[in-house]
C-alpha cells in the first residue's frame, strides 16, 4: 500500500522487479489492454488518478512511482545513462506483470522517459502519448531547434539550475505557502494555469513532497563551469538525467528505429515550464534579467523547447512515423488534469486507433 490515500476504484500495491520494488496504482482487469502512465518530476503516480478512472472499459491502467519518487524503493538514478534507469525499471515492471506490448503516456519528465523508451524499445509500444514533455534534446543548455549545446559542458542544464530552496522545503515536508519556493505555491503557480486549483490539492501536494531529496538524489550533483551561468550537470539524480549531456543519441535512435508507434503530443497553450520561453530555463531567466551576467541570445538564448519537439516529430513523420499535435487553450503544464473533458477524448481516441 502507498502512503497517499487513493480515490475509490484504484488498487495501490508493491511489485517486486529484478531492479527494485515499485509502488504501482492499478485499475481495470488484469487481462485488459495495458496503459503505462509515467508521472513527471516533483510528482508521483497520484497525479494520474482521474485519468485512470476515466479510461474506457477493457483497459488496464498502470501508474508506477518512478525511481526517486513516491513509495518506490529508494535507489539512486545514474544520470550518465540519461533516462535509461527509468526505462529499464519500467520495462522490467511490464515483464513481471506479463505485458509484452502496451500503450504508454508520459507527463513532463515522464514525456522525456517516453522519448527514451521510443529509442530503446519501440517494438513494445502500441501508442505513445506525451503531455507537456521535456524536449527530446533534454532540458536546458541548448540553443536552436536542432538541439545545439550552448556550451561544450552543457552549462545551464542539470541539478545546478534547480532552486535549492524548493528542494529543501520538499525535504522538510513543508505544506505551507509562506515562501515563494514552497512546493504548494510552485504547484499552484506552475503545474497549472492560475486560478485553477485541483480538488485533490492535498493528495497531490503529498505526491510532490514524496520526491527523494539528498546527496546524489534530487536535485543531484553539479559541477562548476567556466560558461554562463557557471554550473554544469553532475552524474546523479533526476535533474541531471534529463540534461542534454546525457540524453545523447536517443533522438537519432528514435528516428532510425524500424518500429515507429503513433505519437499524440498534447500541450497547454500557456505552459510556463515547457515552452519556448520557459520560466525554468536559464536562457529565459537571463534574458528577463532575473539571472545576472546573461551572455545574450547568440550564446545562450531561451531554449526553443516546443520548436525542438516539433522539429523532431516532423522528422519522425518524414521517416515513416506519425504524430498529432494538440494544443489545449487557456491551459498550463498539466492539460490532462486541468481540462480532462478535452484531454480524455483525445487520449482515448489515440488508444483506440490501433
- Per-residue pLDDT, 112: 98
Mean pLDDT rounded to a whole number for the chain: 98
64: phi then psi, degrees, rounded to nearest 5: -85, 160
What is the distance between the alpha carbons of residues 163 and 231, in angstroms, rounded to a whole number? 13
**pLDDT tens digits along 122-138:** 999 999 999 999 999 99
187: phi then psi, degrees, rounded to nearest 5: -60, -50
DSSP codes, 49-80: HHHHHHSPTTEEEEEEPPTTSTTS-----BGG
- Per-residue pLDDT, 1: 80
Task: Tell me the mean pLDDT in the region 111-129.
Answer: 98
Residue 9 has pLDDT above 90, yes or no: yes
What is the distance between the alpha carbons of residues 80 and 14, in angstroms, rounded to a whole number? 28
- Per-residue pLDDT, 150: 98
Residue in the block written with cell 527494485:
20
- Per-residue pLDDT, 279: 96
- Residue 324: asked if its preceding bond is cis (omega within 30°), the reply is no
**pLDDT tens digits along 176-205:** 999 999 999 999 999 999 999 999 999 999
What is the distance between the alpha carbons of residues 336 and 331, in angstroms, rounded to a whole number? 10
Rounded to a whole number of angstroms, the CA Rg of the chain reads: 19
CATH code of the domain occupying 11-351 = 3.40.50.1820
**pLDDT tens digits along 315-325:** 999 999 999 99
Contact 39, 69 (CB under 8 A): yes
Domain ranges of the chain: 11-351
Question: In angstroms, what CA-CA distances link 155 with 142, 209, 283, 285, 309?
Answer: 9, 28, 11, 14, 21
- Per-residue pLDDT, 320: 98
**pLDDT tens digits along 286-304:** 999 999 999 999 999 999 9
User: 0.95 exceeded by the pTM?
Assistant: yes
DSSP tag of 81: G
- Per-residue pLDDT, 152: 98
CA-nearest of 5, 47, 19 to 343 is 47
CA-nearest of 207, 157, 144, 186 to 4 is 207
Amino acid at each position: 500500500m502507498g502512503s497517499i490515500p487513493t480515490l475509490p476504484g484504484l488498487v495501490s500495491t508493491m511489485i517486486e522487479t529484478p531492479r527494485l520494488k515499485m509502488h504501482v496504482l492499478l485499475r481495470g482487469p488484469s487481462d485488459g489492454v495495458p496503459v503505462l502512465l509515467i508521472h513527471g518530476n516533483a510528482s508521483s503516480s497520484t497525479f494520474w488518478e482521474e485519468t485512470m478512472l476515466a479510461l474506457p472499459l477493457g483497459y488496464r491502467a498502470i501508474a508506477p512511482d518512478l525511481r526517486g519518487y513516491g513509495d518506490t524503493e529508494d535507489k539512486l538514478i545514474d544520470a550518465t545513462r540519461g533516462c535509461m534507469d527509468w526505462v529499464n525499471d519500467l520495462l522490467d515492471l511490464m515483464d513481471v506483470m506479463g505485458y509484452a506490448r502496451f500503450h504508454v503516456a508520459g507527463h513532463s519528465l515522464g514525456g522525456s522517459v517516453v522519448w527514451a523508451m521510443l529509442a530503446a524499445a519501440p517494438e513494445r509500444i502500441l501508442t505513445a502519448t506525451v503531455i507537456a514533455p521535456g524536449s527530446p534534446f533534454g532540458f536546458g543548455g541548448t540553443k536552436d531547434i536542432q538541439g545545439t549545446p550552448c556550451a561544450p559542458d552543457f552549462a545551464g542544464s542539470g541539478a545546478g539550475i534547480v532552486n535549492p530552496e524548493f528542494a529543501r522545503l520538499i525535504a522538510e515536508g513543508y505544506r505551507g505557502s509562506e515562501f515563494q519556493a514552497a512546493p504548494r505555491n510552485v504547484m499552484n503557480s506552475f503545474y497549472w494555469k492560475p486560478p485553477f486549483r485541483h480538488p485533490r490539492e492535498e493528495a497531490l501536494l503529498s505526491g510532490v513532497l514524496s520526491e527523494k531529496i539528498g546527496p546524489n538524489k534530487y536535485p543531484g550533483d553539479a559541477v562548476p563551469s567556466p560558461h554562463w551561468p557557471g554550473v554544469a550537470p553532475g552524474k546523479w539524480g533526476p535533474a541531471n538525467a534529463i540534461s542534454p549531456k546525457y540524453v545523447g543519441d536517443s533522438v537519432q535512435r528514435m528516428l532510425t528505429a524500424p518500429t515507429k508507434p503513433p505519437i499524440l503530443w498534447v500541450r497547454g497553450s500557456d505552459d510556463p515550464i515547457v515552452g519556448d520561453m520557459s520560466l525554468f530555463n536559464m536562457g529565459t531567466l537571463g534574458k528577463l534579467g532575473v539571472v545576472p551576467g546573461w551572455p545574450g541570445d547568440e550564446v545562450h538564448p531561451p531554449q526553443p523547447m516546443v520548436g525542438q519537439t516539433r522539429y523532431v516529430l516532423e522528422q519522425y513523420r518524414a521517416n515513416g512515423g506519425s504524430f498529432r499535435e494538440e494544443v489545449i487553450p487557456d491551459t498550463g503544464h498539466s492539460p490532462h488534469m486541468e481540462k480532462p473533458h478535452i484531454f480524455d477524448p483525445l487520449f482515448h481516441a489515440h488508444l483506440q486507433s490501433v
